[in-house]
Copies of this chain bind each other. A is one copy, B any other.
Amino acid sequence: MEQPERVARLLVSCPDRHGIVAAVSGFLAESGANIVAADQHATEREGGRFFMRMEFVLEGLRERHGLLERDFARAVAEPFQMDWRITPATEHKRLALLASRDDHCLLDLLWRWRRGELAADIVAVVSNHPDHESDVAAFGVPYHCVPVPAGGKAPAEARMLELLVGTDVVVLARYMQILSRDFLERVGVPVINIHHSFLPAFVGADPYRKAHEAGVKIIGATAHYVVEELDAGPIIEQDVARISHRETVEDLVRIGRDIERVVLARAVGRHLDDRVLVHENRTVVF
């Protein structure tokens, strides 16, 4: 395998036009880069918005990164009005995890990270409960308990914002407090949540109870970017499990845990690999 320090990813979003692929791939070829993976998507066959992700190998990437960006901006990005970024594969995002009492998503992400599945630096775990302190310590990650007493959301969020300074992405690994609009604006980085239903069904609290009452034959979980409206942000990943009349609400909670942790892990992994682009409250996941 190529050394990862030679690998970078280019992400592009722009109005769809004639010649984009040729311009980008021509630029990379002339720069000596070799494209090893490419995905593209257009929202319409003609005249919509165009999205592209290219993974390329370039000798001396570290030294040439700055110049490459300057040249790309001038030669390609500006003429095509692109939103774009070039990210070296070695540039790990700084990730913080928020969790409440349930530990299944939290432990699953920490364990995947330890075994090298997640290309991130996990810099902090924040919880409104003290429960996971020793578990998290075993992974060598700082644990911050920030209780949210009734009426104390504002100071708790202020404390959390201090702790989250410098992170690139926040993951709500079954964090059961609703974050305020103010918090979301000030944190300034993408926040990924796992909701324990097959959205848009069963928004809000207690979705497994609602699913049981509705008598559905399949339950699910949804990972999405957090927006101000509850459980309404762009969906990154979903999965489901079959149930029957036999399962109690407690069974659904137990079965759901297995879906939740996998759906969240997939969503986080794709975000970290720069595979998710957002457009009008929907995602393109390459």
A248 to chain B, nearest CB (A): 9
Name A245's contact: one of B2, B104, B285 (CB within 8 Å): B285
Query: Which chain B residues border A111 with CB–CB below 8 Å?
Result: 103-104, 107
- CB neighbors of B among A218-248 (8 A): 218, 220, 234-240, 242, 244-246
CB-CB under 8 A for A216 and B245, given A29-B18, A35-B21, A104-B111: no
A134 to chain B, nearest CB (A): 7
CA distance A18 to B20 in the complex (A): 19
Q: A94 an interface residue at 8 Å Cβ cutoff? A: no
Q: A10 an interface residue at 8 Å Cβ cutoff? A: no
Binds B, one of A40-48, A69-77, A151-159, A160-168: A40-48
Q: How many copies does the complex hold?
A: 4
Give A245-275 as 1s and 0s: 1 = Cβ < 8 Å from B's Cβ atoms: 1100000001000100010000000000000
Query: Which chain B residues border A1 with CB–CB below 8 Å?
Result: 45
Query: Which chain B residues border A2 with CB–CB below 8 Å?
Result: 45-46
Name A235's contact: one of B135, B214, B235, B282 (CB within 8 Å): B214
Q: Which residues of A are interface residues toward B (Cβ below 8 A)? A: 1-2, 18-23, 25-26, 28-30, 32, 34-42, 45-46, 57, 103-104, 107, 111, 115, 117, 134-135, 138, 198-202, 213-218, 220, 234-240, 242, 244-246, 254, 258, 262, 281-285
Query: Which chain B residues border A262 with CB–CB below 8 Å?
Result: 258
Q: Is the interface of A mostly helix, strand, loop or mixed?
A: mixed
Query: Which chain B residues border A19 with CB–CB below 8 Å?
Result: 29, 34
Q: Are B22 and A281 in contact (CB under 8 A)?
A: no
Name A217's contact: one of B42, B45, B235, B245 (CB within 8 Å): B235
CA distance A240 to B215 in the complex (A): 16
Q: Closest residue of chain B to A234, judged by CB?
A: B215
Q: Are B46 and A36 in contact (CB under 8 A)?
A: yes
Name A45's contact: one of B26, B36, B134 (CB within 8 Å): B36
